[in-house]
Amino acid sequence: MISVLPYGNGLVNKTFLVTTTKQKYIIQEINKTVFKNPHLVMHNIDLITNHLRNKGNERSLKIIKTKTGRNYLFLKGKYYRCYNYIEGTVCFDKATDINQFYQVGKAVGKFQKDLIDFDVDKLADTIPNFHNTPHRFEQFLEALKEDPMKRAELVRPETRFVLKHYQTTKILEDQIKQNKIPKRVSHNDTKLNNVRFDIETKEAVCLVDLDTVMAGSVLYDFGDAIRIGAASSYEDEPDLSKMTIDLNYFQAFSVGFLETTIDFLTPDEIDNLVNSVKVITLECGIRFLTDFLNGDSYFRIEYPLHNLIRARAQFKLFQEIEKKEKLMKEIINNVASKVMNAQEVNLELLFFIVNFK
Ligand code: GN1
Ligand code: MG
């Protein structure tokens, strides 16, 4: 007896849960438009999953090889790969409580920590410039110029918004170019539904969706995780009045993250954590808007204006982050100093700065 059912809410690959009498597996069809070199994606995943397993992460992704020993299957022009199904775990599209999001902070931090001794130069650059925000800005300008779907007219206010924030797109990239921010392995897609949680203990078990693991920066992983997990609504919320950043979630994540990474993060990295939230949120909005202009060829959509709605929601979130930026920096400094001095941070007791300023 075998069943094959669509699984998860990813925007790029097609995912299926395969249940056999003995075991469950995850099979995915790799999106060829997004991943031009699936064999290199699988090469990276092979290296990373082995390294993480050697670090004792037993409940983590493992590639199930084909009968001929390959880590993917090329069949009728399509690429497929198979993973173990991590039993007893679930994932969420929206964080349910601050302790859960604290767990995510720990998991993202642990991913970084476990890979600190991994030689990042072994990883192929499978999507060059993935989180190079000025490059995403350029891609947007190109789409605007070409305007293949004749949609530029529809996005005048959003276009003005993007152009106005060109300087912000450069904040991280300039420092990376100057080697102020160290190159590290990064997951690059730390959204909440890429984290598996134990059903019983509620603890985060591991990060999945390793397709975009490449050389990058810890800041990409911090920023992207907050962009989704600390947002007050979904990434495609059409009612912009519902979209803001929840500082309690931001703080909870920061505690989990800094508890696991404080020993190796550089002061420049810590100083840029809040910038990363801003820049990655802006970047994601720019990517959605670019895809809208290009005719929705990258992100899966459920209705015609979906990518535009997503872009608007990200831009609103960006504005909310800018409003609360100072408080967020205070939270990071506060948490970092507490964690450095090994003081416990009680998640239930909200910081003075959050409540009374
Ligand atoms: C895509 O595949 P999925 O849904 O985990 C995208 C991310 C975006 C995300 C937005 C390879 O991730 O970069 O942040 O959608 N992945 C790729 O939801 O582009
Ligand atoms: Mg995913």
* 351 Cα to the center of ligand 2, angstroms: 33
In this structure, the answer to whether residues 149 and 245 fall within a common structural domain is: yes
| Confidence tier at 1 by pLDDT (50, 70, 90) | low
pLDDT tops 70 at residue 354: no
> For residue 90, is it within any domain?
no
> For residue 288, is it within any domain?
yes
Confidence at residue 341, expressed as pLDDT on a 0 to 100 scale:
87
CB contact set of 259 (below 8 Å; sequence gap of 6+):
105, 106, 109, 339
CATH number at residue 78: 3.30.200
Q: Which of 37, 61, 189, 284 to mutate to test the pocket of ligand 1 (most atoms within 8 A of CB)?
A: 189
pLDDT digits 0-9 by tens, 303-325: 999 999 999 999 999 999 999 99
Confidence at residue 9, expressed as pLDDT on a 0 to 100 scale:
87
In this structure, the answer to whether residues 209 and 309 fall within a common structural domain is: yes
Instruction: Give the tokens for residue 145.
Output: 């110029």
pLDDT tops 60 at residue 195: yes
pLDDT tops 70 at residue 276: yes
> For residue 332, is it within any domain?
yes
In this structure, the answer to whether residues 71 and 122 fall within a common structural domain is: no
Q: What percent of the chain has pLDDT over 70?
A: 96
CATH number at residue 239: 3.90.1200.10
Mean pLDDT of 163-188: 98
Atom of ligand 1 at shortest range from CA of 188? 13
Question: How far, CA to CA in Å, does 147 sit from each of 80, 155, 248, 291?
Answer: 33, 11, 41, 11
In this structure, the answer to whether residues 49 and 118 fall within a common structural domain is: no
Domain boundary among 62, 85, 108: 85
In this structure, the answer to whether residues 72 and 143 fall within a common structural domain is: no
* 229 Cα to the center of ligand 1, angstroms: 14
In this structure, the answer to whether residues 114 and 71 fall within a common structural domain is: no
- Ligand 1 pocket at CB < 6 A: 10-12, 34, 189, 191, 194, 209, 211-212, 235, 284
Whether 68 contacts 98, CB under 8 Å = no
Atom of ligand 1 at shortest range from CA of 212? 11
Q: Which of 12, 26, 224 to mutate to test the pocket of ligand 1 (most atoms within 8 A of CB)?
A: 12
Structural domain harbouring 173? 98-356
In this structure, the answer to whether residues 61 and 179 fall within a common structural domain is: no
pLDDT tops 80 at residue 34: yes
Mean pLDDT of 257-266: 97
Q: What's the number of CA atoms in the CB half-sphere (13 Å) around residue 174?
A: 9
Q: What is the mean pLDDT of the chain?
A: 95
* 14 Cα to the center of ligand 2, angstroms: 10
Long-range residue pairs from 21-27, CB within 8 A, at least 24 positions apart, any chain: 23/85, 24/85, 24/87, 25/64, 25/82, 25/83, 25/84, 25/85, 26/82, 26/83, 26/84, 26/85, 27/80, 27/81, 27/82, 27/83
| Confidence tier at 203 by pLDDT (50, 70, 90) | very high
The residues that bridge with 4 in the sheet, in sequence order, are 18
Atom of ligand 1 at shortest range from CA of 227? 14
In this structure, the answer to whether residues 121 and 210 fall within a common structural domain is: yes
Q: How many domains does the chain have?
A: 2
Q: Whole-prediction pTM value?
A: 0.95
CB contact set of 20 (below 8 Å; sequence gap of 6+):
1, 2
* 178 Cα to the center of ligand 2, angstroms: 31
| Confidence tier at 348 by pLDDT (50, 70, 90) | low
In this structure, the answer to whether residues 119 and 71 fall within a common structural domain is: no
In this structure, the answer to whether residues 153 and 23 fall within a common structural domain is: no
Q: Which of 11, 45, 310 to mutate to test the pocket of ligand 1 (most atoms within 8 A of CB)?
A: 11
In this structure, the answer to whether residues 178 and 250 fall within a common structural domain is: yes
Ligand that comes closest to the CA of residue 281:
1
Domain boundary among 31, 64, 85: 85
Confidence at residue 215, expressed as pLDDT on a 0 to 100 scale:
98
* 194 Cα to the center of ligand 1, angstroms: 10
* 323 Cα to the center of ligand 2, angstroms: 29
* 10 Cα to the center of ligand 1, angstroms: 7
Nearest to 142 by CA among 290, 34, 308: 290
